[in-house]
Amino acid sequence: MAQLYLVRHAKAGERRLWNADDIERPLSKKGWKQAELVGKRLAKHDPSVLLSSAYVRCIQTLEPLGERLDLQVEVDERLTEHEPVEPLLELIREAPKGAVMCSHGDLIPAALQRLKKAGAKIATQPDWRKSSVWVLQRSKHGHIVKATAWPPPVL
């Protein structure tokens, strides 16, 4: 059974107060603390690859983990906000065991809903908050059989 991790990016500055392109909106001070704690927890699970949406806040969410493990954060467009969910589901089927993937609050719930419809057991109450992590158990046939939500770290 392969274990994968789907992370919602940590807290960023408010969208309505950001004047530049939203792709460039960075983490807030609280978001950096969340990213550090998420990275500390995930480092114990032997991540193999770090995949992220191109949005700065997603990349930054995985950077502390990458620094701990000497892994580079790689951009994968299938994790990008406002994109269709099917490519993300394909990534979840194909990603290497131990992959950590950072995405957004629109795609993660959509993906979990589709995985549930396909037969995955949702083992916990859904948690869509920023810096929450979904632990996905994938069978050797590429099907997600179980999904468990870790709540955001307590600051």
Domain range for residue 109?
2-150
CATH number of the domain bearing residue 77: 3.40.50.1240
Mean pLDDT, to the nearest integer, of 85-104? Answer: 97
Is 54 inside a domain boundary? Answer: yes
Amino acid identity for residue 42 in this structure: L
Number of domains in the chain: 1
Is 110 inside a domain boundary? Answer: yes
Query: Can you say whether the dihedral through the CA atoms of 38, 150, 134, 143 is positive or negative?
Result: positive
Q: How confident is the model at residue 18 (pLDDT cuts 50, 70, 90)?
A: low
Supply the pTM of this predicted model: 0.95
Is 56 inside a domain boundary? Answer: yes
For 44-79, what is each residue's pLDDT tens digit? 999 999 999 999 999 999 999 999 999 999 999 999
Average per-residue pLDDT for the chain: 95
Is 115 inside a domain boundary? Answer: yes
Mean pLDDT, to the nearest integer, of 100-123? Answer: 97
Predicted pLDDT of residue 23: 75
Kindly tell me the number of DSSP H helices and DSSP E strands found in the chain: 4, 7
Is 155 inside a domain boundary? Answer: no
Is 87 inside a domain boundary? Answer: yes
- Tokens representing residue 100 in the block: 């950590």
> Which residues are CB-contacts of 113 (< 8 A; sequence separation ≥ 6)?
none
